[in-house]
Amino acid sequence: MACRQLWASRAASYLRISVFHRTFSTVLNNLKYADSHEWVKVDGNSATIGITDHAQDHLGDVVYVELPEVGAAVTQGDGFGAVESVKATSDINSPVSGKVVEINEELSNSPALVNSSPYENGWIIKVELSDNSELNKLMDSEQYSKFCEEEDSKH
Amino acid sequence: MWNILHRKLSELVETKSVLRDHIPIIRRFTGGGTVVVDNGTIFVTLICNKDAVPNVQPFPRPIMSWSGLLYGKVFEGLADFHLRENDYAFGDRKFGGNAQSITKNRWIHHTSFLWDYQVKNMSYLKLPSKAPKYRLTRDHTDFICRMKEHMPRSEFIERTIKAVGDEFSVSPVSLDSIDIDSVSEYVHTTRLLTEQEIREASILQT
């Protein structure tokens, strides 16, 4: 058991994934996180946005994703779309401000990608950032992991 | 009148009979399934600031469980109440369907309570593809039940108000006195479907 955990930690740091034993949600090191459980991957002036593993796990099976139009404006902290699970519609809030340049059309046919691959194939929108300094308001992976642990233990 | 999950209208209702009998269909902004609404239906909607219910994470399952505890108190000693997956049931028969909408700082949990129903109205509904497991293969009349057979209407309403009053302070308001202030840009919509939309869905049904 101890050996497997050691192997897992080594593999995790090689792959740049943090694995926390109490929560089983995956958190990636190279992303920024909002307290409403969205992640953002920044590349210069472009950002890719999705919901985290913690979020998809708590939402349940996603049956539909309501996407914004390309060209729409998004504002940090405001809703831009929604994820529907069997009995609930949940807003997706943008971790950054900017303009939508691409939406993940695959989600129309396969909304479950949000569950199976929340950080990769389940990405939701790509945005051209209007204000890079907003990223300072977001959490890094360590802060977000701690945040999730606190949320789960409180409830 | 009906409430309905978006899209795939052809999978949820018998469009030809709905068109023939001029049944209005409402698309609701919350998630959830399709219900037949008549003049006996009771709706209970809980709109909560997430911090007002601090022990409940703003996700479907925790909200559903919390609501199950609330209604458990309502029906205590009166009926064999169970939260079964996302439904409220007496025994294994559904009498209440749920829908939720969750935003950043608040959430809605909405229940359509089946007070009474006419069997012929159930024929407007198709068997949903995503049925709860506890339904097994039962058709509507074997799956649901009428609340009125279990308690007087006034008793259900009073007990619900009391159970809510144990968690929050409760006061009656009239609809006229509610003032809708600002509306944010991203607006959820509940709307009546047009006959055109129902006809288009009807073409998809064989």
Nearest C-alpha neighbor of A155 from the set B57, B32, B36, B21: B57
Test B103 with A155 for CB contact under 8 angstroms.
Answer: no
Q: Look at residue A7 and give its three-state secondary structure.
A: helix
Of A86 and B18, the one with more pLDDT? B18
Cα B46 from Cα B58, distance rounded (Å): 13
Interval B102-138: pLDDT, tens:
999 999 999 999 999 898 898 898 887 778 999 998 9
Per-residue confidence (pLDDT) for residue B204, from 0 to 100: 75
Neighbours of A10 (CB within 10 A): 10
Q: Which of A36, A89, A152 sits opposite B101 (nearest CB)?
A: A89
**Residue position matching structure tokens 């809708």:** B180
Percent of chain A with pLDDT over 90: 77
Interval A42-82: pLDDT, tens:
999 999 999 999 999 999 999 999 999 999 999 999 999 99
- Which among B7, B65, B98, B104 is the top mutation candidate for probing chain A, defined by the most A β-carbons within 10 Å of its own β-carbon? B104
Q: Which of A55, A86, A154 sits opposite B31 (nearest CB)?
A: A86
CB A99 within 8 A of CB B206: no
- Chain B residues inside the 8 Å CB shell of A114: none
Test B29 with A89 for CB contact under 8 angstroms.
Answer: yes
- Which among B4, B34, B59 is the top mutation candidate for probing chain A, defined by the most A β-carbons within 10 Å of its own β-carbon? B59
Test B30 with A58 for CB contact under 8 angstroms.
Answer: no
Q: What's CA A116's distance to the chain center, in Å? A: 12
**Mind giving me the DSSP string for A66-98?**
E---TT-EE-TTSEEEEEEESSEEEEEE-SS-E
Task: Tell me how close the Cα of A146 comes to any Cα of chain B, in angstroms.
Answer: 16
Residue A39 pairs in a beta bridge with: A33, A50
Length of chain A: 155
Q: How far apart are the first and last CA of chain A?
A: 29
Please list the pLDDT of chain B residue by residue as tens digits (206 residues): 454 444 578 888 899 999 999 999 988 878 678 888 998 999 999 999 999 988 899 999 999 999 999 999 999 998 999 999 999 999 999 999 999 999 999 999 999 999 998 988 988 988 877 789 999 989 888 999 999 999 999 999 999 999 999 999 999 888 787 766 655 555 657 888 889 888 888 887 75
Nearest C-alpha neighbor of B104 from the set A99, A48, A90: A90
Cα A84 from Cα A86, distance rounded (Å): 7
Residue A138 pairs in a beta bridge with: none
**Mind giving me the DSSP string for B50-89?**
GGGSTTS-SSHHHHHHHHHHHHHHHTTTTS-EEEETTEEE
For chain B, positions 48-67, list CB contacts with chain A under 8 A: 54-57, 59-64
Locate the chain A residue with the closest alpha carbon to B31: A88
- Chain A residues inside the 8 Å CB shell of B188: 89
Nearest C-alpha neighbor of A114 from the set A135, A95, A92: A92
**Mind giving me the DSSP string for B133-201?**
GGGTT--HHHHB--GGGTS-HHHHHHHHHHHHHTTS------GGG-------SS----EEPPHHHHHHH
Verdict on whether the full-model pTM lies above 0.80: yes
Task: Tell me how close the Cα of B30 comes to any Cα of chain A, in angstroms.
Answer: 6
Per-residue confidence (pLDDT) for residue B5, from 0 to 100: 45
For chain B, positions 91-150, list CB contacts with chain A under 8 A: 98-104, 130
ipTM for the whole complex: 0.79
Test A87 with B86 for CB contact under 8 angstroms.
Answer: yes
Q: What angle do the packed helices B60-74 and B153-165 form, to 10 degrees?
A: 120
